Chains A and B, each alone.
Chain A
Amino acid sequence: MTLHAWLSAILVQALVSATPLTLAGLGELTAERGGVINVGIEGMMLLGAITAFAVGMTGNPYLALAAAPLAGMALGLVFALATVVGRVDQIVCGMAINLLAVGISGTAWVALQNHDLTALPDAAAFHRLWGQQYGLTYVVAGLCVAWWWALHRSRAGIIVRALGESAEACAANGIAVRRWRVSLVLLGGACAGTAGAFLSIMDIQGFEPGMTGGRGFLVLALVIFGRWRVEGLVAGSLFFGALDSLQVHFQGLGFDRYLPYQAFQMLPYVAALCALAVLSRSAPGPGQLGRPYPARH
């Protein structure tokens, strides 16, 4: 293969890898701008992945794609009821959601195997379109523009941003704080669930337990990395997509003669850790991130 062919293969894979990160990131970013930090998106992605895979057994890819956000929203509802309504600590509850999703998806996976349903039927897999990308990648690109506009130019965007800075001020202006926050968490769950479906019925076209492999946690780092802005998130996702793509393609480039493949495997996580170390302090984030409302009963 020529250098040109390798470069284009890496670029294609970078966009594929960046798509679920961006999609889940949009949802997480919005929830965090509204004051709710959802550490459970890894679990919501995982549940979206197994749901899309299981529904894909029917042979209808669009049904599978539609079911995944519902699965993410179901977990989002549990999270929202516990944290926004029940005022449970958001981070601990998010970790519980992750464990919950591992349990559910693992159990479902075992049950599917008992019925010999282990490979996605060809009809249920999406195919690559123009530029070797899945259609969802273009949808996500469009969503980024719409999201930026909604967050900065619409009334709903103003409310979301205000919610994260002062829920009390919003309440004084007649905004139903908890109803808004529950909706934002559900939106985040839908995004994460769809991102999981992208992995199972498009990118990888299969399922294995724990297949999200920490992408949900990378997304959390990306939101900080992008300083809670859509354009920052997109830039970060593309960067991590490129890192991931290098990991996929490094063997073809002959890098494995110099470095073990595990070095590339850990690269995105080391980069995320470094990015957090550099940026966490200078980017404080929404003022009331993670704080329940009302502050006291």
Chain B
Amino acid sequence: MSARALRSIAVTLGAALLGIIGVLAGLWCAGYPPATVVPTWLAAAAGNELHLAGSLQQAGPLLCAGLATAVAFRANALNIGVEGQYLLGAITYVGIGVHVGHAPGVVMIPLLLLLAMASGAGWALIAFVLERTRSVPIVLSTILLNFIAVALVSYLIEGPLHDPVTSAPQTEQLAPGLRLPVLIAGTTLHVGVLVIAALAVVLWVAQSRTVFGYELAVVGANERVARLTGIRVERVRGLAMAISGALAGLGGALQQAGVTHYMSDGSVSYGYAGIAVALLGQLHPLGVAAAALYFGMLDSGSAGLERHLDIPHDVGDILKGVVTLVVLIAAVVQWRRRPWSGP
């Protein structure tokens, strides 16, 4: 590992630690000494098999959204649209899934996942095509497409896909055959999380060992150089956007298939959190995995604080806000060195 990589890891870890210390100091001032907060937090995040499973499950969609963001950012295609692509993937899986409940899951699950990936990729490619043909900046079009996706999904949930037995805005439940098996009984840790973890490794190998990974790095570092070396820049950027959208769509679909089993108007999307996860992970697949795990543990850990120490349940949100904040300051420091400017 190069000195630069080590330094970048050290800076990021330091920033995350600083964020934790800041939050602990705040809680201390509010009357909760670190001596009780830290053990409770750790126990809830990774104290036993069940809690660790909860953290890992929470990390799954964050990792998928983080990987999606990272692969596009690496090609200098600022895809802020993972939020919308995630939602489209999720609604594709649920929307078609509730109509084909009797089909065998062995066939249907992979097929539906592929369709979800295609819809996410298609949504991302709108932005790419608009940039290619009409010079619309990707960062703007993807954001606008997020708002369009939210309204579209809301329409589908309240309209054609609405569950007739309830007045609440939600879809029907997925048939048991279309749900993903859980790994540990009594938890929501499902097979999909393993798939996402495997994808992180695949992306890592692809980025460091294949021609496409090399081209991605060159395009991200300097488009003119890439063009002069004979790399088809637009093809690489388009492919990066498609992969990004497909990953986002997959993340949405796996979350529905593995955890929630239906969609409601208030469905949580991990798209925007994925940006913070990707930046904290320095756009490196393994770094993103570490960042997603950290965020996942943060989520389940703060839930534990609420359960055991009677700390108001809002404190979990404060914790998230502060950590995101510190992550970003660290990222700004890192950007001066442009961490994704090549291997």
Q: Is B144 within 8 A of A103, CB to CB?
A: no
Does residue A281 face the partner (Cβ distance < 8 Å to B)?
yes
Structural contact, A221 and B276, CB atoms closer than 8 A? no
CB contact between B144 and one of A87, A91, A95, A217 (< 8 Å): that residue? A217
Q: Bound state CA distance, A272 and B147, in angstroms?
A: 11
User: For the complex, is A107 an interface residue (Cβ under 8 Å from B)?
Assistant: yes
User: B134 on the interface (CB 8 Å rule)?
Assistant: yes
Interface residues of B in 142-187 (CB under 8 A from A): 143-148, 151-152, 154-155, 158-159
Question: In whole angstroms, how far apart are the Cα atoms of A261 and B325 in the complex?
Answer: 35
Point out the residues of chain A lying under 8 angstroms from B145, CB to CB: 269, 273
The reply to whether B154 and A214 form a contact with Cβ atoms under 8 Å apart is no
* Contacting residues of chain A (215-269) with chain B, CB-CB under 8 angstroms: 217, 220-221, 260, 262-263, 265-266, 269
Residue of B nearest to A42 (CB): B143
Please name 14 further chain A to chain B contacts, defined as beta carbons within 8 Å, in addition to the given A96-B279, A107-B322, A114-B314, sorted by A numbering.
A89-B335, A89-B338, A92-B335, A95-B80, A96-B331, A99-B272, A103-B321, A113-B314, A114-B312, A214-B144, A262-B158, A276-B140, A277-B134, A281-B135
- Chain B positions within 8 Å of A, measured between CB atoms, are 78, 80, 130, 134-137, 139-141, 143-148, 151-152, 154-155, 158-159, 272, 275-276, 279, 312, 314-315, 317-318, 320-322, 324-325, 328, 331-332, 335-336, 338
Contact in complex: A214, B143 (CB < 8 Å): yes
**Could you tell me which residues of chain A, from 1 to 56, have a CB within 8 Å of some CB in chain B?**
39
B154 proximity list for chain A (CB < 8 A): 262, 265
Complex contact B130–A277 (CB within 8 A): yes
Query: Which of B140, B159, B275, B317 has a CB less than 8 Å from the CB of A217?
Result: B140
Q: Are A96 and B332 in contact (CB under 8 A)?
A: yes
Cα-based distance from A99 to B325 in the complex (angstroms): 8
Question: What are 11 A-to-B residue pairs whose CB atoms are below 8 Å?
Answer: A92-B78, A92-B335, A93-B332, A214-B144, A260-B159, A269-B147, A272-B144, A273-B141, A277-B130, A277-B134, A280-B134
Question: Which of the residues B130, B155, B317, B322 comes within 8 Å of A273, measured between beta carbons?
Answer: B130
Minimum CB–CB distance for A183 against chain B, Å: 21
Kindly report which residue of chain A lies nearest to residue B329, judged by CB atoms: A100
In the bound complex, residues from chain B placing their C-beta under 8 Å from that of A39 are 139
Instruction: Output the nearest chain A residue to B129 by Cβ-Cβ distance.
Output: A277
**A86 interface hit (Cβ, 8 Å):** yes
Whether A260 pairs with B155 at a CB distance below 8 angstroms is: yes
CA distance A273 to B131 in the complex (A): 11
Asked if B331 and A107 make an inter-chain contact with CB atoms under 8 angstroms apart, the answer reads no
Which B residues are in CB contact (< 8 Å) with A100? 324-325, 328
B182 to chain A, nearest CB (A): 31
- Do A262 and B152 form a contact, CB below 8 Å, given A95-B275, A214-B147, A269-B144? yes
Identify which of A103, A262, A277, A281 contacts B151 (C-beta below 8 A): A262
Q: Is A143 an interface residue (CB 8 A)?
A: no
A82, A86, A277: the one within 8 Å of B136 (CB): A277
CA distance A114 to B312 in the complex (A): 8
Q: How far is the CA of A107 from the CA of B22 in the complex (A)?
A: 14
Q: What are the residues of chain B within 8 A of A103 when measuring CB–CB?
A: 320-322, 324-325, 328
Q: CB-nearest residue of chain A relative to B147?
A: A269
Question: Given the complex of chains A and B, what is the CA–CA distance between A143 and B200 in angstroms?
Answer: 52
Are B328's CB and A99's CB within 8 A?
A: yes
CA distance A285 to B73 in the complex (A): 24
Quick check: A280 and B135 within 8 Å, CB to CB? Answer: yes
A96 touches B136 (CB 8 A): no
Residue A270 at the chain B interface, CB threshold 8 Å: yes
Q: A88–B339 Cα gap in the complex (Å)?
A: 12
Per the bound structure, the CA–CA distance linking A233 and B270 in Å amounts to 34
Cβ-neighbour of A266 out of B78, B80, B148, B325 (below 8 A): B148
* Given A103-B322, A110-B317, A273-B145, residue A95 in contact with residue B78 (CB < 8 A): yes
Is A102 an interface residue when CB atoms closer than 8 A count as contact? yes
Contacts of B159 in A (CB 8 A): 260
In the complex, the answer to whether B317 meets A106 with C-beta atoms within 8 Å is yes
B318 touches A107 (CB 8 A): yes
- With a cutoff of 8 Å between Cβ atoms, the chain B residues found around residue A262 in the complex are 151-152, 154-155, 158
Question: B42 to chain A: closest CB distance in Å?
Answer: 23
Cβ-based interface call for A171 (8 A): no
Question: Could you say which residues of chain A place their CB within 8 Å of the CB of B140?
Answer: 217, 220-221, 276
Q: How far is B154's CA from A260's CA once the two chains are assembled, in angstroms?
A: 10
Asked if A63 is at the interface (CB within 8 A of a chain B CB), the reply is no
> In the complex, what distance in Å separates the CA atom of A225 from the CA atom of B144?
14
Chain B residue numbers with a CB within 8 Å of A280 are 134-137
